Structure 1
Amino acid sequence: MPRPLAFHVISALALIALTSARAADIKEKAAVCAGCHGDNGISQTENIPSLAGQPDQFLQWQLVFFRAGSRKNEQMQPIAEEITNEDIRSFGAYFSQMTPPRAAEDKDPDLSKKGAQVAVGRRCASCHTDSYAGTKAVARLAGQREEYLVKALHDYKAGQRVGGGVAAMADVAYRMSEEEISAVAHYLAYLK
C-alpha cells in the first residue's frame, strides 16, 4: 500500500474510533438526563419537557442559560453548572437526532380546534415553523407535554422565563387568556 493511502486509511480509522468514543461518552453522560427527561429524551414526568427532536441550537442555548443562571430551575442549575462547552454541543446534537415524541390520540378535538385558531392568531408558526417542529434556536412544540407547555407560557407571561426570543414570547404570552393558553397547549401537545 503506498504511504499516502495508508496514512489516509489510518487517519480515517482513528477518526472513526474517536467519533465512536465521543458518541459512547455523550450517551453515558446523557443517561443522567433520562432520570427526569425520560428514556430516549421523551419525558414521562409532569412539567418536565421532552428533549428528543428539539433543535440542536435550541438545546444548546437552554443549557447555556441554565449554566449562566439566567434561566432558573433548582434541578437543572447544579447539573448545567458542571457541563463544559463541548458537553453542551454534544447534548444538543445527541438529543436533536432522537425521534421526537409521538402525540397520543386527541381526546378533545374541539379544544384542539380552538388551540389551532389561537396558534394562527398569535402567529406561532412564524417562529416555530408550520409543523411546529422548531428550527435553529426555536423550540419544537409539536408533541411536547401539555402541562409543560402551559407552564412555559405562564412563565413567559409572568416574566419568569428568559432566553432567546424572550421578548417575542413574553409579548405573545402576556396577551393570552387562561383559556387560550390551555387551548393552544392542548393543540400543540396532540399535534401529529
Structure 2
Amino acid sequence: MRRQVISLAINALALTALAFVPAQAADNAAIKEKAAVCSGCHGENGISQTENIPSLAGQPDQFLQWQLVFFRAGSRKNDQMQPIAEEITNEDVRNFGAYFSQLTPPKGEEDKDPDLSKKGAQVAVGRRCASCHTDSFAGTKAVARLAGQREEYLVKALRDYKTNQRVGGGGAAMADVAYHMSDEEITAVSHYLAYFK
C-alpha cells in the first residue's frame, strides 16, 4: 500500500510538471499519424469496436494524460499498454490527450434493455456518480467520460476498482464506491452509462 501511495505521488508530480509546460502548437497531421497506432485497438477515430478496450474519443484531456502517465510509470498495469506508454514522450502525452479529447465521443445506441437502464440510473443516483463524472457523464478534467463507453469495459473497470486491481487518479474514491457495489449493481449501472444519451 505504501508503495502505491509513493508511486501515485511520483505520478502526480510528473503530471503536475507536464501541466505547467505550455503545449506547443503541434502539427495536427503528425499527431494524427502517431495516434493511428492507437486505432489498432481503440478503434478508428478513438471509438473502440473491440471487447474490453475503451473508446478514447471525447475523454477529457487531463484524464487521458493521467492514464498514459500511470501506464508509463507502471502504476496502472496492462500488458498491451505498458510497452507502448514506456516509449512515449511528455510531449506525446500532451498531444494524445488533446487529440483524443477533441474527437466526437461515441453515442449510446438504442437501449436494448430499458428496464436494466432504469435500475442502473437508480444505482448512479445512489452512488452519486454524477458528483464527479458530471450530470451528462461526460467527465471533466481528470475524471473519465462514462457516457457511451463500451458496456463490458465499464463492468471490467468497476470490478477492477472493487478488487483493487486498478489504481490511479481518483482510485481511492472509485475503489470505495465500487467496493460496496453488488455484481447486479455493476451490471445495471454499466448498461445505463453505455446507452446514456
Report the TM-score when normalising by structure 1. 0.89
Is residue 130 from structure 1 mapped to residue 141 from structure 2 by the alignment? no
Q: Give the structure 1 partner of residue 175 of structure 2.
A: 170
For structure 1, the residue ranges without an aligned partner over 5 or more in a row are: 1-17
Q: Give the structure 1 partner of residue 21 of structure 2.
A: none
> Where does 1:1-192 land on structure 2 (aligned, <5 Å)?
19=25, 22-192=27-197
Offset from partner CA, 1:45-74 (integer Å, 9 cap, x none)? 000000000000000000000000000000
Displacement of 1:82 in angstroms is 0.1
Amino acid at match of 1:60: Q
CA distance in 2, matches of 1:102, 1:141: 11
Offset from partner CA, 1:105-155 (integer Å, 9 cap, x none)? 001000000000000000000000000000000000000000000000000
Which secondary structure state, in structure 2, belongs to the residue aligned with residue 104 of structure 1?
Answer: coil
Amino acid at match of 1:112: S
For structure 2, the residue ranges without an aligned partner over 5 or more in a row are: 1-23
CA distance in 1, matches of 2:58, 2:64: 10
Amino acid at match of 1:72: K
CA distance in 2, matches of 1:24, 1:183: 40
Displacement of 1:160 in angstroms is 0.5
CA distance in 2, matches of 1:86, 1:23: 13
CA distance in 2, matches of 1:78, 1:165: 24
Report the TM-score when normalising by structure 2. 0.87
Displacement of 1:157 in angstroms is 0.3
Task: Determine which structure has more spread, i.e. the larger CA radius of gyration.
Answer: 1
Offset from partner CA, 1:138-184 (integer Å, 9 cap, x none)? 00000000000000000000000010000100000000000000000
Give the superposed CA RMSD.
0.9
Displacement of 1:35 in angstroms is 0.2
Residues matched between the structures, number: 174
Runs of 4+ in 1 over 6 A off after TM superposition: none
CA distance in 2, matches of 1:169, 1:92: 22
CA distance in 1, matches of 2:60, 2:69: 15
Which secondary structure state, in structure 1, belongs to the residue aligned with residue 33 of structure 2?
Answer: helix
Q: Give the structure 2 partner of residue 9 of structure 1.
A: none
